[in-house]
Amino acid sequence: MENKVPIVPVVSSFSGLTMPVIGMGTASYPPVDAGTLKSAIVEAIRAGYRHFDTAFIYGSEQPLGAAIAEALNIGLIKSRNELFITSKLWCTYAEPDLVIPAIKMSLENLQLEYLDLYLIHWPLKFSKEVSRLPVPKEEVSVIDIKSVWSAMEECQLLGLTKAIGVSNFSSRKLEEILSFAKIPPAVNQVEMNPLWQQKELNEYCKAKGIHVSAHSPLGSKGTLWGDNRIFDCHALKEIAEAKGKTIAQRWQICLRWVYEQGASVIAKSFNKKRMEENLEIFDWSLSVEELEKIRGLPQCKFNSIGTFIEPSAELEAQL
């Protein structure tokens, strides 16, 4: 089956890795059952998706692994090498002696021998398993990034992952890593959409050779931390109409905008028709005037860390 999704190079001094521009996200809120998720991933592979984004905390590693096994069995793909699989180190395991056991646990869940990309999920350490949200602030600290990053580098050197990176990191935390890293982060996966454009962070990452991958490109509608602001945005409705898109298709404007910023994008839908429509952003472009209209939109972050941990000015000052 021909892969419909273009690939984009991931800049890293230790890797000539390439990754598909659009990945399928597997996090869901509220969670879907494993069978539903597995079936959706198989359909996504059938539609042409080759990049899948998971994480230990999502609970989606095992269904993704089962879907990959089924896709191989029924001939949708000939080899695991056709896929790009990303997973993430959860905050409970953000200690140097827990990193390698954590990635091995993810690999076992996925039934894989290696990941393509392993990310530190947040620049945070939880002192114990999360039993409620928000996490009590006394159980949260900033990770010892130097020792944890060294363990991440070891994961790559051992062949457990082809590349390593971070998620939800500021330019200040990236600067800290770059000051001692032997293997620099290949990717920073962050929230990025027309209402949270991350212009300065994106420019910083480009200058440092760190590829930006965008999560929450539609503002996380339907989650604890998201809302309908993107779907209710009048300017995006106008652009969608001008492009001949239905009001319900205006998410394509967001995906195309992210793509035109030079970032890859993690889009989540378990609806077969919408999965296919998410790939239909490469045969048209946004005009200068449309990009200028988006550039002027009021900015508001959706995926606030305050959703996950109790407010702590001291902690936020270190991130």
Which residues belong to the annotated binding site for substrate? 121
Contact between residue 124 and residue 148 where contact means Cβ atoms under 8 Å apart: no
In this structure, the chain runs to a length of 319
Phi-psi region of 126 (alpha: psi -120 to 50; beta: other; left: phi over 0): beta
Q: Which residues pair with 265 in a beta bridge?
A: 22, 214
- Active site (catalytic) residues: 58
CA–CA dist 126, 116 (Å, integer): 26
Which residues are annotated as part of the binding site? Answer: 121
The two structure tokens encoding residue 183: 């293997």
**CA-based angle 213:29:84, to the nearest 5?**
35
**Phi first, then psi: what are they for 243, rounded to 5°?**
-90, 5
Contact between residue 189 and residue 119 where contact means Cβ atoms under 8 Å apart: yes
The three-state secondary structure class of 244 is: coil
What are the angstrom distances between the C-alpha of 11 and each of 7, 158, 208, 212, 302?
13, 20, 9, 10, 28
Torsion over CA: 150, 154, 160, 162 (sign): positive
